[in-house]
Amino acid sequence: MRRMAGKAKDETLIELKSATDSHIGDEDSGNGVHSLSERGTLPGHTDTEKQCPNKDTVFFRDGVRRIDFVLSYVDDKVGEKKQERRKEFEANLEKAGLELETEDKLDSKDQKTYFLKIHAPWDVLATYADVLKIKVPFKTSDIPHGQDIPLGWLSRPFRPPEHIMHPQPDYFTYPFDKSKTDFFLISDKDTFFPPSTRNRIVFYILARCPYYKEGRKDKEKTGIKRLLSNGTYTAAFPLHDCRYWKRARNAECESERYNLYKHWARFLSFYKDQPLNLIRKYYGEKIGIYFAWLGFYTEMLFFAAVMGFICFTYGLLSYDDNISSKEICDANIGGRIVMCPLCDKKCTFWKLNSTCLSSWQSHLFDNEGTVFFAIFMGIWVTLFLEFWKRRQARLEYEWDLVDFEEEQQQLQIRPEFEIRCNKRRLNKITQEMEPYLPISSKCARFCLSGATVAFWISLIVACIIGVIAYRLAVYAAFASIIEHPVRNIHLVGRFITPQLATSVTASCINFVIIMILNFFYERVAIWITDMEIPKTHLEYENRLTLKMFMFQFVNYYSSCFYVAFFKGKFVGYPGDYSYMFGKWSNLRNEECDPGGCLIELTTQLVIVMSGKQLWGNIQEALLPLLRNLWSSRKGRQHPENQYSRWEQDHVLQNFSQLGLFYEYLEMVIQFGFITLFVASFPLAPLLALFNNILEIRVDAWKFTTQFRRPVASKARNIGAWQEILNAVAILSVVTNAFIMAFTSDMIPRMVYLYAYSQDASMSGYINNSLSVYNISQIPDPNIPEKTENWIDNSTTTCSYRDYRYPPGHLKEYTHTMQFWHILAAKMAFIIIMEHVVFVVKFFVAWLIPDVPSDVKARVKRERYLIQEYLHNYEVERLKLQLSASFITEPVSEMSSTTDKLEVLSEFL
């Protein structure tokens, strides 16, 4: 059934309702529930336990009351303060109406840990469902859900069973009202609120329950989070409904965890649809939305991967038509072209044909198909975002999130904000006092936070500069290792060139630095976000998201931006080279590989992207698997009557509040790799597709086997990540246009073909793209240390990549007209490509509505029917009230009352 949190009221209202219903705990104290005062006399094994030896259950010892939450703690010898806090906290829980039952440490496997089981009775659930305006069913929906898909039988092998895909019928829902319980479909009060709703309500109470003594007011002593942080309790979690590898023995248990593991978490199910409705029912809408987005993103990646593979295949098939590479490899062309040294002193002159292999490799990714693929990806990213909005709108309707507003849950004031903000002011809307953070304190905290983020981003830039300096210094070392490059180039340098060795080692070092900086900054980002004291959960997540993404963006992409847009662009020429820190540093600005800068960008992208995905999979799958392999085997060996459900869940990992944040961040960073720099590596979407197929099942496996059951929470969309994806999509159009214009050799080749070629072919392009310099004019600081016995005495000039006039010309060593033609063509290409892609993007976005028309119609129809049913209910209720008052009135007033009833009925 649809379950949805309504708009939350102020905490004051909750306290008033809690106070109104506080007698519930007192009335139930003799109902077989062990209160705090009775704990000291709890026997190790009761008669109920002997009758029900199976401890793998989600019910109290009476087998009737469901365990909605579990708290665990270890009774320390020097923990008197902790005992006092626990005593007051649990007493307040009982006053709030919750029922408690304790498992003695002697009954636990380690004989050290106590487990406090919590059950929320009907009155408590009803009270807080009313306060939180949780939507519950009141009538089975009679709106048909679309027509059968033509040839739908073809998709059956890819779909889990129907009872897994749709584990519950469809209902009309309405915010729960405790005064109208007869309006809702309540057949059994024990099962009316599903486990996910029950644990959310209990956690809401736990997060706001104080643990100070009665008569004292200490606002800091509030909530389970503080009790966990100070060690009073070791864990707080709701229970899984069964073991993941077998169904629950109790027929009243849903065994949804087992179904999720069987039909979702196993890797052999990678080709099947995800059971999103069951995921949502078991874990809540927030986690369900994440897996829905991840699944949709993976589906859309399939089309990008196919197109990228086609472009790569085109590069392979056009291998033999690559005239430029043939000229480079030709001994009579590339073998006779002497190139100028690529660094000072250590680097010597070299032959152009030594770059034969890299030129062929560059052609695989730098060809005519790359332009088409860059344009395609600009349109693909728009289609992805627009179609996701439609899928999201459909999920909002199907999961009853249409009327859900973030303030219903996400905008609830954080307990940390209430505790740390001592000052209060009047809310002009609610006319009630609420805590607030003074503007002076807020500004000071923001300034410190901004300075911290700026410092860490500056640290990244400094590390990148250090890696660049490493590339410049080490290139000369690699170049000096290969002696006599002209004579032995085919023996050693054919596969291991100084450029390749420098690029690969620098990329690996850069990746290690990225991982180290990530490790430290994650903790810093959480610390400074906590220091800002955000008011709401949504504000907290958005601030942390912004900080983390800004850092990750600079950390992961800065090296790729350097290779794509800066390397080889500010080199100078043999007589006037540019230096990184000035000529005193002797660090000459790095030139591109003779095969082009695009192949180096490809190398950088492959190492960073593949390394991140490999490391992420090791962290997410391999390490938890090895760590829990022994404990899992041990858990399976324990008989059910000895290894309780709460103990099994207690040894699992805790799913933190920021668990989904890191999952989203990982995928958004990947999204940046396959969009921002995809023009340099068309196979990037294919790598991402394989990774995501694994990622879905790894995440599903973690949720079902490695993590405790998280507290269910709601979300109608992916939050701030949607805006980040939109920004990355817009930026990707610009970056790919610049990559094709300035990093790729596509534009110079096209200008030569259509403006300078004599026979309308690429023959002669290599000689045309090189300029020459008089060796005798090379300054002494730039001349190689050893030049004897390697070059013919007849060689007087060396070549370099640029468009400059030759020595002896009136405009010696200045840019030729062809240089300006190419520059104009590059700028024109950028403008045309950006405008074409943006026009198509905006047209597609306009053409595809965010909400499907059938969903709009269903929403309107459902709202109308809800109002009609509610109106009829109120009319019937009023008639019953008037009839009851009519019976109790004197006979003399009967006629007038009858007249009033008839008039009122007609009016209604």
- What pLDDT was estimated at residue 639? 53
Which tokens sit at 211? 């643990």
At 638, is the pLDDT very low, low, confident or very high (cuts 50, 70, 90)?
A: low
At 430, is the pLDDT very low, low, confident or very high (cuts 50, 70, 90)?
A: low
- What's the sign of the alpha-carbon dihedral 28, 32, 38, 40? negative
DSSP 550-571: HHHHHHHHHHHHHHHHTTTTS-
- What pLDDT was estimated at residue 199? 92
CB within 8 Å of 797: residues ≥ 6 apart: 338, 772, 773, 774, 775, 806, 807
- Dist. CA 342–CA 493, nearest whole Å: 15
At 26, is the pLDDT very low, low, confident or very high (cuts 50, 70, 90)?
A: very low
Other beta carbons within 10 Å of 50? 8
Three-class DSSP category at 737: helix
Residue 13 pLDDT exceeds 50: no
- Dist. CA 771–CA 838, nearest whole Å: 37
Which tokens sit at 872? 């009829």
Whether the Cβ atoms of residue 784 and residue 349 lie closer than 8 Å to each other: yes
Residue among 722, 544, 137, 594 nearest 327 (CA): 594
Q: What is the per-residue pLDDT across 441-492, written as a single tens digit (0 to 9) for each?
A: 888 888 988 898 889 889 988 888 888 888 777 776 766 665 444 444 333 4
Phi and psi (nearest 5°) for 592?
Answer: -75, 160
Q: 500 burial class (0-12, 13-18, 19+ CB within 10 angstroms)?
A: buried
Look up residue 17 and give its amino acid: K
Other beta carbons within 10 Å of 574? 25
Q: What is the per-residue pLDDT across 207-240, written as a single tens digit (0 to 9) for each?
A: 888 887 766 666 567 888 888 888 899 999 999 9
At 764, is the pLDDT very low, low, confident or very high (cuts 50, 70, 90)?
A: confident
- What's the sign of the alpha-carbon dihedral 293, 298, 301, 302? negative
Find the length of the chain.
908
Whether the Cβ atoms of residue 42 and residue 102 lie closer than 8 Å to each other: yes
Look up residue 143 and give its amino acid: I
The bridge status of strand 576-577 relative to strand 572-573 is antiparallel
- What are the boundaries of each domain within the chain? 69-146+176-239, 429-535, 853-883
Q: What is this structure's pTM?
A: 0.84
Residue carrying the six token digits 């809690």: 18
- What pLDDT was estimated at residue 805? 92
Which tokens sit at 327? 């000229």
Three-class DSSP category at 707: strand
More confident residue, 473 or 729: 729
Q: What is the per-residue pLDDT across 580-601, written as a single tens digit (0 to 9) for each?
A: 777 776 778 877 766 667 888 8
- Dist. CA 404–CA 28, nearest whole Å: 35
- Dist. CA 377–CA 684, nearest whole Å: 11
CB within 8 Å of 801: residues ≥ 6 apart: 568, 591, 592, 594, 769, 770, 771
Residue 505 pLDDT exceeds 90: no
Q: What is the per-residue pLDDT across 161-187, written as a single tens digit (0 to 9) for each?
A: 888 888 888 888 888 988 888 888 888
- What pLDDT was estimated at residue 22? 39
CB within 8 Å of 835: residues ≥ 6 apart: none
Torsion angle in degrees (nearest 10) through CA of 503, 509, 514, 519: 170
Q: What is the per-residue pLDDT across 47-89, written as a single tens digit (0 to 9) for each?
A: 444 444 567 889 998 888 999 999 999 977 666 888 888 999 9
The string over 672-688, giving b where at least 16 C-beta atoms fall within 10 Å of a residue's C-beta and e elsewhere, is bbbbbbbbbbbbbbbbb
Three-class DSSP category at 70: strand
Determine which of 111-125, 297-311, 753-767 has the lowest per-residue pLDDT on average: 753-767
At 153, is the pLDDT very low, low, confident or very high (cuts 50, 70, 90)?
A: low
- What pLDDT was estimated at residue 618? 77
Look up residue 741 and give its amino acid: A
Which tokens sit at 474? 């080490």
Residue 895 pLDDT exceeds 60: no
The string over 793-806, giving b where at least 16 C-beta atoms fall within 10 Å of a residue's C-beta and e elsewhere, is eeeebbbbbbbbbe
| Percent of all residues in the chain with a pLDDT value above 70, rounded to a whole number | 81
Phi and psi (nearest 5°) for 108?
Answer: -85, 160
The string over 132-170, giving b where at least 16 C-beta atoms fall within 10 Å of a residue's C-beta and e elsewhere, is bbbbbbbbebeeeeeeeeeeeeeeeeeebeeebbebeeb
Give strand pairing partners of 275: none
Residue 859 pLDDT exceeds 70: yes
